[in-house]
Structure formats: structure tokens, C-alpha cells
Amino acid sequence: MEVVIVQDAKAGGELIAEAIADLLRRKPDALLGVATGSTPLPVYDALTAKVRAGAVDVSRARIAQLDEYVGLPAGHPESYRSTVLRQVVEPLGLSPDAFLGPDGTAEDVQAACEAYDRALAEAGGVDLQILGIGTDGHIGFNEPCSSLASRTRIKTLTEQTRIDNARFFDGDIDQVPHHVITQGIGTILEARHLVLLATGEGKADAVAATVEGPVAALVPASALQLHPHATVVVDEAAASKLKLADYFRHTYANKPSWQGL
Ligand code: F6R
């Protein structure tokens, strides 16, 4: 696992957007896995700026959703499908056909989960998966004690996650669904490159447990330690509880430039 400490969220967004641009220069039809929430927005902004500046061609890129609320009506502005269309697909000028996601409105949720795992595999697998992290260490919506081998399935959100996400629902926790479909941890680990971005002091404990704690289902993001190509990008505030912060800074500062992220 590589840990890169950046000054702030904007620098993290720029660094990850450049890694995505590099990937698309090598593989123009790459499948990019996207997280929602506040953290990855600087990545999408920086990537959109590169596209508008002509620095990268994303016209053949494909986008895959990480998770979805269950039970929001189709087209609800806070469904993750609507969110990804608004924040990623439209700004990048991609067609909605280039977009894969689980069906949070399906009557047979289990079948929808299995269909999504199949669709990801048939699309050749995710090349680069962007991840955020919950204050409780979740990735996607794999809450603490999710199986590290889990596949895409329905999960019940913790009260803390519903409180954290109420800000997207006019601050009203009653509007936040209790259930979600999320790629499982086993599914996420199949992506070729995992890039987790964490910013702000509120993520410092979760980041320290992810990077320096044991691999444990209690901290779902710690499963990144099992992946051969995982990059954790953190700002100074999110890095503030890392014991090895100086080591990570030294290693990154001396990294051969050809290696990229
Ligand atoms: C949502 C997702 C979640 C978020 C996490 C952090 O698609 O994957 O794991 O990344 O809840 O959310 P923010 O970035 O809003 O703090």
C-alpha cells in the first residue's frame, strides 16, 4: 500500500485526476469506478478541467458506480445514479450508455446485486476504483464487520452513516434510506488499482486504522492492505494520526517519477 500525503483536498484531487488521465492515455476505454459523497469531488473537478483543456480524451472512458440507495424512486436527485450522472458523466461529456450501476429500484434486490457483479465482470473489470472512507472505516457501503470476501449485496446503513449523509437530504435523517446496494469488499478488491482519498480531521482515526492497524472486518478499508496496487491519498488533517507519516513523506518524495501512482 502506498500512502501519499498532500497539502489539501485540491492537491489530492489533482494528483488522482492525473493518474486517471495517465490511465486513459494508456487505455482509452478504461472502466473507472467512482465513489460518491463529498470527498471525491475535487477529483472529478480536476479531471473535468483536464478534459476541457484538451489534456486528456475521455470520450471512450466507461464509468461504474460503487453503490446505490435502495428504494429511492428512479430519478431521485440523491440516488447515486443521479449523482454520478450529474457529477461525473455529464461534466465529462460521456454518454449515459457508458455508465454501469446497480438497480436500486429492483423488486428482486438480490438478483440486481448478482446482475451487477456479472455486468462488471463482462465489462472486463474495473481498472481504477476511486474510494472515499466513512468515519467508521467503511468503503462503498461495507459497514464494519462486512465480510472481507463479500460480493455486491444489500446492506443496512449504520445510524452514524445515516447521520453523516443526512446533509444530502436537507439535514433530515428520516429521508435517508436504511438500505443500500454496495459492491462487496471482495468485488472492490478485484479492481486493478484502488485509490482511496481521505480529507479532513474527521477521517484521521479511520485512516490510521486502515493503514497502520490490522486487517480486520471491523475496519473494512483495512482490506486495502491485501491489494497489490492500493494507493491512499490523504491531506495533512486526515494524516494527522499516522505514526509513519514522515516515512510516507520520505518515500513519496524519493519515488522514481516514472512509477506514477
Ligand atoms: C459512497 C461511498 C462512501 C463514501 C463515504 C465518505 O459512494 O463510497 O463510502 O465514500 O461515506 O463520504 P464523504 O466523502 O461524503 O465523507
Neighbouring residues of 248: CB distance < 8 A, sequence distance ≥ 6: 3, 4, 5, 239, 242
Residue 154 CA: distances (Å) to CA of 80, 108, 260: 15, 11, 35
Best CA proximity match to 193, nearest among 239, 224, 215, 219: 224
User: What is residue 92's predicted lDDT score, i.e. its pLDDT?
Assistant: 97
81 in ligand 1 pocket by Cβ < 6 Å?
Answer: no
User: What is residue 130's predicted lDDT score, i.e. its pLDDT?
Assistant: 98
Cα separation of 208 and 137, whole Å?
A: 10
Choose the residue to mutate in 16, 32, 36 for probing ligand 1, maximizing ligand atoms within 8 Å of C-beta: 36
Q: How far is CA 198 from the centre of its chain?
A: 10
What is the pLDDT tens value at each position of the chain, 261 positions in all? 999 999 999 999 999 999 999 999 999 999 999 999 999 999 999 999 999 999 999 999 999 999 999 999 989 999 999 999 999 999 999 998 999 999 999 999 999 999 999 999 999 999 999 999 999 999 999 999 999 999 999 999 999 999 999 999 999 999 999 999 999 999 999 999 999 999 999 999 999 999 999 999 999 999 999 999 999 999 999 999 999 999 999 999 999 988 989
Distance 175 CA to ligand 1 centre (A): 17
User: What is residue 39's predicted lDDT score, i.e. its pLDDT?
Assistant: 98
User: What is residue 79's predicted lDDT score, i.e. its pLDDT?
Assistant: 97
Which amino acids are annotated catalytic? Answer: 67, 136, 138, 143
Radius of gyration for the chain, computed over Cα atoms and rounded to the nearest angstrom: 17
Strands laid side by side in the 179-182 sheet: 67-69, 179-182, 153-156
C-alpha angle 26-40-169 in degrees, rounded to nearest 5: 145
Atom 11 in ligand 1: residue holding the nearest Cα: 134
10 Å CB burial of residue 59 (0-12, 13-18, 19+) is: middle
Atom 8 in ligand 1: residue holding the nearest Cα: 140
Residue 161 CA: nearest ligand 1 atom is 11
Strands 153-156 and 179-182, by their bridges, are antiparallel
User: What is residue 181's predicted lDDT score, i.e. its pLDDT?
Assistant: 98
Distance 256 CA to ligand 1 centre (A): 31
Distance 57 CA to ligand 1 centre (A): 27
Cα separation of 253 and 251, whole Å?
A: 6
DSSP H stretches of helix in the chain = 9-26, 41-52, 80-84, 109-122, 159-165, 185-188, 204-212, 245-253
